[in-house]
Amino acid sequence: MASSPPGSAPLRHTPLHSRHVALGARMVPFAGYDMPVQYAKGIIAEHQHTRKAAGLFDVSHMGQAALAGPDHATVARALETLVPADILGLVPGQQRYSQLLNDQGGIIDDLMVTRPADGDGRLLLVVNAACKDADIRHIRHHLPDEVRLEVFDGRALLALQGPEAEAVLARHAPAAKSLAFMSAAAMTVAGIPCHVSRSGYTGEDGYEISVPGDRAGALWDLLMAEPEVEPIGLGARDSLRLEAGLCLYGHDINEETSPVEAALAWSIQRRRRQEGGFPGSHRIMEELADGPLRKRVGLLPEGRMPAREGTEIKDAAGELVGEVTSGGFGPTLGAPVAMGYVASDFAREGTALTLVVRGKEIPARVVPMPFVAHRYKR
């Protein structure tokens, strides 16, 4: 068991903790949990396996909850006072990505929202592990009396990701095959009651599977027994999402960044752009109309040296124009990749910039994201 720093709370365990230890995973503290950063084969092998077959991730540290009220419209409108997405327009079984916003239009957290296929008047939420306690307080504080938040502390969450994920899961839950990207349904997986969404954080096709905590071990063992499946730790999860151009909360987005700056304007649907009514809507609608002062962009450095978070970004004249927020080696590309914020004048594709890495100036250029094409099942 990993120890905690003196004076801090002891690290929490997911229901799958003993499985990770038995597999020889290197465990590290993450968002208050003792989590596997990698297994015996290492981060690059895990990354590549997910891209070619199927990787199994324990993401049970994430926060799972539900909003419940008298009907869909009431619950959806309550959530729409906190997020900029069109929640009212969700059809049963549909999932949508959005952000909890503060009054300045900054991002408190990003989250997934699902309208269950069965049962009106409920919305399922998945929020980030490091933010979940604050998110719960924030949501509860702003809910009307007729809507309540139910927190699912007793549930685990597994992610099965990669081009073979469909074949693997369909052996035990044939209904999984018919799910489209960003849709979800309750189903049994080899007799285990689950709620399955076709989504993930790798850029690959795949599923996130919510399961009662006391059945999580059985589900993990079932999936791990399939020949295409290997366990994947947080290290490869990060390199996969970086290649996919996906934001990591606390790094690429935070309470200062707006969805428009973060290149997430696609997650604000037309009705919300027209009506507003969400926190920070004045700033966000202004940025949608006139453009933000800075933008999140993809960066491709020359050579082999990765540019990590905090790296300065300079223009051709040597002036500071931005900062890297995520960066590392992209195993699929065999080259370093990075993302960060630059002043909007320097955000155009092909713009030549300089990254200052350990005192050395590395040429780079702005490139479109994702770095590796998404392979979602639309």
Q: Binding site: residue ranges?
A: 208
DSSP-derived pairing of the beta strands 95-101 and 148-151: unpaired
DSSP-derived 3-state class of residue 367? strand
Distance CA(288)–CA(259), nearest Å, equals 10
Structure tokens at 346: 């320097």
| Beta bridge partners of residue 173, listed in sequence order | none
Q: Which residues are annotated as a binding site for substrate?
A: 208
On whether the CB atoms of residues 369 and 245 are closer than 8 A, the answer is yes
CB-CB neighbours of 357 under 10 Å: 21
Q: Measured between alpha carbons, how far is residue 173 from residues 93, 122, 169, 278 in Å?
A: 17, 24, 6, 39
Burial of 40 (0-12, 13-18, 19+ CB in 10 A): exposed
Radius of gyration of the chain (CA): 21
Distance CA(165)–CA(223), nearest Å, equals 10
| Beta bridge partners of residue 253, listed in sequence order | 249
Within 8 A by CB and 6+ apart from 225, the residues are: none
